[in-house]
Amino acid sequence: MIAELGLAALWLATALAGLQLLGGVLGQRESGADLAALVRPAAVMQALLCAFAFGTLVLLFARTDLSVALVAQNSHSEKPLIFKIAGPWGNHEGSMLLWITVMSLAGGLIALVERRLPEKTLLATLAAQAFVGLGFYAFLLVSSNPFERLDPAPAQGLGLNPLLQDIGLAMHPPTLYCGYVGLSVAFSFAVGALLTRQVTPDFARVIRPWVLGAWIFLTLGITAGSYWAYYELGWGGWWFWDPTENASLMPWLAATALLHSVSVLAARDALRTWTILLGVVAFSMSMVGTFLVRSGVVTSVHAFAVDPQRGTFILVLLTIYIGGALVLFATRAGTIAEGERFTVMSREGALVINNVALSALLGIVLLGTLYPLLTEAFGVKVSVGPPYFNPVGAVFLMPMLAVLAVGPLLRWRRDSFARIRLPVLAAFAVGLAVLLGMWLIAGMALLPLLGMAMAAVVGIGSVLPLLGRSLRRLPLATLGMVVAHFGVAVALFGMAADSAFSIEKLVAARQGDTTEVGPWRVTLASVEPVAGPNWTALEARLSASYRGGAPSEIKPQARSFWAPPQQTSESALLTRWNGQLYTVIGGEADGDRWQLRLWWKPFVTWIWYGGALIALGGLLALIGRLRTDLKRRTVRARVAARRMEAAA
């Protein structure tokens, strides 16, 4: 009964999306006013129905209703409740339902609160949203119904893969979807603005929270994903330029560019068409990323949910939405009046350089990721990896970072270099000193050296906007920018330090043997067999001491799962403020010795601290913007009320 209610709600929501689309399109003319009035209620109702449908699926998983095919295939009555509740999005059907639910909730929210845009633009936006939504509803109802019944019901479910029973992985899909949905909202607004030719600062202010929100989620997703690969794959690498990773990086690059161009549009009414184009591109990149990961056309370490048929469906949606939006853009772009002008020595000028560099980076990542696919079509296999991405990316990244250090100090519209000469020169002088010092002392390779120097420049440059300002009166959005930019410096420093100063030791150790890894002395105390619920493991007891200090015990494991049969290395880490000791036990070497892999990775954790700071900066900015928006809203309401009183 519950499953049927959920399915009915889903069908109703689909019908309402159809109505929303119809109303949004016909409502553009005077004759469609009746239909237009239905659009907002339809969006809100659709959100409620979707939330209800998703709720029923969660309930079905929580109660382990095995008569539902999806539950039977992905759950088990003995599973911990938290993973039962996370069950719905641990599979394709459920995660599609989650996607459409988040999307309809966003649509409902817009319909409920958004009053800043011209009504026709909003109608067109909601119509675009319904149009995108309908594709996903069709996907769900036609080819992946999550409420499918199983008759007769099996006695027990198949369970979720033990490797995926991890709280981090349980949170991963919702995080990504929130990011993608946020970009889909920006896409809908861009299409709405394009259709009604209303690209205004108000438009930018309306989409800014959505872009910011999406960007925060994407930042968190990439940071967490990178850390997961770092400790799970067992070789100490944190970024492999693997297609799956690139698929997550591309929407982030586009969203970062969009975020910055939106603030130019909001503050100065410039970069109109460019912002619209980025809105389309950002959502395209998240769809292209989903396609690459799900369809299996590229070879990747992380290829989990591969299914060519779903790939076909996503490709069809991609063609309709992105192809359609680009054609619309190409026909309309010329009719949108160009915005305000500015000089190179201005905040806008710096942001334009940032946007061009980010777009070029996006182009490089896209090219490098898809090039093997292209040559494969001609029967030639090539590989594009770190030796390509790192130097070519740096060509575009380094100038961008230099501008990042200066841009926030500049005033809008027109500024002179003389005004900010002193602090900027100081920052670059420190950077140069770091460059020369590190080169002479440490003899670092070129890329980490440049990274280190640029980290210093950006680190100093990012906090310069705080000079001479009272912290209490600082707008939250400005503080957010400072924090996020400082996070870039922190992450960059971590990357450079790790790649330049990492120390690796591979040893075959007997019990009692001591190995030196940088400042650490690691002793193998013993190797013991241990057992978990569905695995057995060899566990090394290591005692590690930092510069002769008190030893700490860490226990890396080599685990063998039996269903499915599989071996994994569970690395064990010792974290200090200035880096991590990373230990892995491999197999048995000859006789009584064990393979140990030990790394001292100076400042490696700063990479993820930096990522977290960037996301935190985004969050601060989001709160700041929302607070200002709310304040403006109340002021407007008060003014309107006063006018009413005066009229009465």
Partner 1 sequence: MNALSLLHSVERFARFVLRWVPTLAGITMAALALCLGPAAGQDLLPPAPYAYRQLDDPKQEAKAQALMETLRCLKCQGQSIADSDASMAGDMRHQVRTRIAAGESPEAIRAWMIERYGDYVSYKPELSTTTWPLFALPLLLIALAALILGRRLGGRGK
Partner 2 sequence: MIRGRIFLWGLVALTAGLFGLFAYQLSQPKDEFIQSTMIGKPIPPFDLPPSVPERPGLASGDLADGQPKLLNVFASWCVPCIAEAPNLARLEAAGANIVGIAIRDRSQDTEFFLRQNGNPFSRIGRDDISAVQLSIGSSGVPETFVIDGQGIIRYQHIGDIRDSDVALLLEKLKEAGA
d(CA 283, CA 103): 13
334 binds partner 2 (CB under 8 A): yes
d(CA 89, CA 438): 48
Residue 330 or 641: which CB sits closer to partner 2? 330
- Contact assessment for residue 125 and residue 192, using Cβ atoms and an 8 Å cutoff: yes
Structure tokens at 288: 């292209």
Looking at 312, 343, 416, 575, which residue binds partner 2 (CB under 8 A)?
312
Residue 377's Cβ-count burial label (10 Å; 0-12, 13-18, 19+) is exposed
- Contact assessment for residue 537 and residue 557, using Cβ atoms and an 8 Å cutoff: yes
Residue 306 or 429: which CB sits closer to partner 2? 306
Q: 223: closest CA among 568, 577, 495?
A: 495
Residue 335 or 634: which CB sits closer to partner 2? 335
Whether cis (ω within 30° of 0) applies to the bond prior to 80 is no
- Contact assessment for residue 442 and residue 501, using Cβ atoms and an 8 Å cutoff: yes
300 binds, among partner 1, partner 2, none (CB under 5 to 8 A by kind): partner 1
376 binds partner 2 (CB under 8 A): yes
Looking at 330, 425, 530, 641, which residue binds partner 2 (CB under 8 A)?
330
Residue 52 or 561: which CB sits closer to partner 1? 561
Structure tokens at 251: 């929407």
73 binds, among partner 1, partner 2, none (CB under 5 to 8 A by kind): partner 1
Phi then psi dihedrals of residue 241, to 5 deg: 55, 40
Q: Minimum distance between the CB of residue 48 and partner 1, rounded to whole angstroms? A: 29
Q: Which stretch binds partner 1 (CB under 8 A): 20-28, 345-353, 541-549, 575-583?
A: 345-353
Q: Which stretch binds partner 2 (CB under 8 A): 330-338, 470-478, 505-513, 597-605?
A: 330-338
d(CA 633, CA 564): 57
Site for partner 1 in 586-625 (CB under 8 A): 586-587, 589-590, 595, 597
Q: Minimum distance between the CB of residue 53 and partner 1, rounded to whole angstroms? A: 20
Q: Minimum distance between the CB of residue 424 and partner 1, rounded to whole angstroms? A: 18
Residues in contact with partner 1, counted by CB under 8 A, come to a total of 71
Using DSSP, state whether 173 is helix, strand or coil: helix
Neighbours of 529 (CB within 10 A): 8
336 binds partner 1 (CB under 8 A): no
d(CA 403, CA 420): 13
**CA geometry: angle at 141 spanning 124 and 187, to 5°?**
30
Neighbours of 345 (CB within 10 A): 17
199 binds partner 1 (CB under 8 A): no
d(CA 447, CA 454): 10
Site for partner 1 in 128-187 (CB under 8 A): 148, 150, 158, 161, 163
Residue 307 or 629: which CB sits closer to partner 1? 307
Helix, strand, coil shares, percent, the chain, to 5? 65, 10, 20
Looking at 295, 355, 359, 557, which residue binds partner 2 (CB under 8 A)?
295
User: What are the residues whose beta carbons fall under 8 Å from the beta carbon of 356, sequence distance 6 or more?
Assistant: none
Residue 344 or 373: which CB sits closer to partner 2? 373
Residue 47 or 496: which CB sits closer to partner 1? 496
Strand bridging mode 535-546 / 594-602: unpaired
Residue 548 or 564: which CB sits closer to partner 1? 564
Q: Minimum distance between the CB of residue 356 and partner 1, rounded to whole angstroms? A: 5
Site for partner 1 in 543-562 (CB under 8 A): 558, 560
114 binds partner 2 (CB under 8 A): no
269 binds partner 1 (CB under 8 A): no
d(CA 336, CA 384): 39
Q: Which stretch binds partner 2 (CB under 8 A): 20-28, 321-329, 453-461, 569-577?
A: 321-329
Looking at 168, 237, 308, 549, which residue binds partner 2 (CB under 8 A)?
308
Structure tokens at 614: 């960037």
Q: Which stretch binds partner 1 (CB under 8 A): 113-121, 295-303, 478-486, 541-549?
A: 295-303
Using DSSP, state whether 27 is helix, strand or coil: coil
Q: 618: closest CA among 263, 271, 282, 365?
A: 263
Classify the C-alpha dihedral 72-77-81-82 as positive or negative: negative
Looking at 15, 59, 153, 315, which residue binds partner 2 (CB under 8 A)?
315
336 binds partner 2 (CB under 8 A): no
308 binds partner 1 (CB under 8 A): no
Residue 378 or 577: which CB sits closer to partner 2? 378
d(CA 271, CA 613): 28
Site for partner 1 in 349-388 (CB under 8 A): 349, 352-353, 356-357, 360, 363-364, 367-368, 371, 375, 380-388
Q: Which stretch binds partner 2 (CB under 8 A): 136-144, 254-262, 373-381, 624-632?
A: 373-381
Residue type, 110: I
Site for partner 1 in 226-245 (CB under 8 A): 233-235, 237, 240, 242-243
- Contact assessment for residue 638 and residue 556, using Cβ atoms and an 8 Å cutoff: no
- What is the binding site for partner 2 (CB under 8 A)? 284, 291, 295-297, 299, 308, 311-312, 315, 318-319, 322-323, 326-327, 329-330, 333-334, 370, 373-374, 376-377, 381
